[in-house]
Structure 1
Amino acid sequence: MTIAVDFDGVIHAYSKGWANGTIYDPPMPGALEGLRQLMAQDAVFIFTTREPEQVAKWLSTRRFICRTEHDGPFWNVRGQLLVTNRKLAATAYLDDRAVPFTDWAQALADLAPEAQR
C-alpha cells in the first residue's frame, strides 16, 4: 500500500496557519512516531502545497530520509519519504481538511455553509 500524508495540520502543528510561510511549529503529538509506524509497513509520501525542499529539510532534521524528486504516478519505496506537491496515486490520503466522499448529495451537504460552522 501507499499512504499519502498531508503536512500542515497533520505532521506540523500549523497553529497560526500559513503565517509568513515558515515552518514554525513543532510536530503534532504522535506525528513522527506515527509516520515511522506507517513507513515500517507501507510506502509513504508527504503531500504539501509548500515547497517540497522546505518540508524535506524539516523532516530530515527529525531523522527521516527524504526525497523531493520522483518521476511517475506511483511511490512504492518503503523506509524513505517522498515529499511532493503532486497528487500521486495512494491507497489512502491522511488530511486534516478532507471531506470524505460517499456520494454527491452528502458531499454538497457537508460543504454547505451551515456545515462549516
Structure 2
Amino acid sequence: MPNAHPKTIAVDFDGVIHAYSRGWQDGTIYDPPLPGALDGLRTLMRDHAVFIHTTRDAKSVAAWLANYGFSTALEADTKIEFWNAIGVLLVTDRKLPAVAYLDDRAVRFTDWKQAITDLTEGA
C-alpha cells in the first residue's frame, strides 16, 4: 500500500540537476544533466513526493525535464502550498514545505555561531 503521508523532498535545479557550468546566462538552460541526476530523481520519486525549486521559469524547466523523459514534470500553479504526489515531478519557483532540501549552495544550519563561521570563513 502506498505511503498515505509521503515525505516531500525539494531539489534545486541549477548545479544539482542541470550542470550549470557557465552560471546564469540569459535564462537559457544550456547544459545536460549532471551525472546521476536523472536516475537520482527517479529513485526519489518511487517513495517520495519530489519537487524541483528554481528561480528559472518553471515551464522552461519542465520542458527541459520532459526532453529527458520526465513526462510527469508539471509546472506549478503559484497557489500550491505543499506537494505530496508520488511519481509526479513538480517544478516551482516557490520554496514549499519539505523534509529535506537538496541544494548545491546550502549551508547547514545548526546554530548561528556555526552559520556565521561557515558563511564568513568561506568567503
Question: After the TM superposition, which residues 47-66 of structure 1 pair with which residues of structure 2 at under 5 Å, given as runs?
Answer: 47-64=53-70, 65-66=72-73
Separation in 1 of the partners of 2:80 and 2:52? 15
Match of 2:23 in 1: 17
Match of 2:93 in 1: 85
Corresponding pairs, count = 115
Q: Does the residue aligned with 1:25 lie in a helix, a strand or coil?
A: coil
Separation in 2 of the partners of 1:30 and 1:22? 22
Would you say 1:26 and 2:32 are equivalent positions?
yes
On the 8 A contact 2:10/2:100 being kept in 1, the answer is: yes
Of 96, 100, 105, the residue aligned with 1:97 is: 105
Moved over 4 A (4+): none
Q: Which runs of 5+ in 1 are unaligned?
A: none
Question: Structure 1 length normalisation: TM-score?
Answer: 0.94
Question: Structure 2 length normalisation: TM-score?
Answer: 0.90
Letter in 2 for 1:103: D
Q: Which runs of 5+ in 2 are unaligned?
A: 1-6
